[in-house]
């Protein structure tokens, strides 16, 4: 702006090398990964969660969150806070599967995280077998999300299929950590 004012005052065209632009844009996509750490999701599914967290961070580095849940939801990485991918992956790798599954609470936590984003597209990615064992209306909680996608363990996806049908969510299965990035790509395409 200063270069234009100076040029106009002198009656000349502005020097192109002194002109700078700034572009303000909304992030395109915000992601919130929900990692089920309940008793039914021990071992391989939690390792898959760590790889999926890395894939989410690489796919949407400026606007993502990770929430682990069993009975209670715990924010591993908040939507509006900065944490390195390594720290996030280490935190997910440190999770131990135990307890009950509160899907309604987890989906509400995702909604709260995604509400912090100004992205035009906000997606909750649910990595779970979707067997809710705590009280709460899961379908109602999902209705507050802009978009829900479900990634369920292969061979243990019956409840996930039912939830996807009830919420119009896109769903896929994942065979393990080596399939995590591909599974994420399938549901986010």
- Looking at residue 27, its pLDDT comes to 62
Say whether pLDDT at 93 is over 60: yes
Predicted pLDDT at 62: 85
Q: What is the mean pLDDT of residues 135-163?
A: 97
Q: Which CATH architecture has domain 26-188?
A: 3-Layer(aba) Sandwich (3.40)
Q: Are 104 and 134 in contact (CB under 8 A)?
A: yes
Contact 92, 53 (CB under 8 A): yes
pLDDT(107) > 90: yes
Alpha helices in the chain (DSSP H): 2-10, 44-59, 85-93, 103-114, 138-142, 158-167, 180-188
Residue 146 — pLDDT band, cuts 50, 70, 90? Answer: very high
Least confidently predicted of 24-33, 47-56, 77-86, 122-131: 24-33
How is the chain split into domains, by residue range?
Answer: 26-188
| Predicted TM-score (pTM) above 0.75 | yes
163-182 tens-digit pLDDT: 999 999 999 999 999 999 99
Token digits of residue 62: 């400026």
Q: In the beta sheet, which residues pair with residue 66?
A: 33, 77
């Amino acid at each position: 702006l200063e270069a234009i004012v100076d040029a106009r005052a002198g009656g000349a065209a502005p020097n192109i090398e002194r002109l700078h632009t700034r572009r303000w844009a909304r992030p395109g996509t915000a992601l919130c990964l929900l990692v089920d750490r309940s008793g039914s999701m021990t071992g391989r599914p939690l390792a898959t969660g760590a790889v999926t967290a890395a894939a989410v961070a690489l796919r949407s580095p400026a606007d993502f969150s990770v929430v682990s849940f069993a009975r209670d939801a715990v924010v591993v990485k908040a939507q509006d806070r900065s944490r390195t991918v390594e720290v996030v992956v280490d935190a997910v790798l440190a999770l131990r599967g135990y307890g009950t599954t509160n899907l309604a609470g987890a989906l509400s936590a995702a909604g709260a995280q995604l509400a912090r984003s100004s992205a035009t597209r906000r997606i909750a990615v649910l990595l779970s077998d979707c067997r809710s064992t705590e009280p709460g209306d899961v379908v109602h909680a999902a209705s507050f999300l802009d978009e829900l996608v479900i990634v369920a363990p292969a061979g243990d996806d019956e409840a996930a299929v039912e939830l996807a049908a009830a919420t119009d969510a896109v769903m896929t299965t994942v065979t393990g950590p080596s399939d995590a990035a591909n599974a994420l790509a399938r549901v986010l395409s």
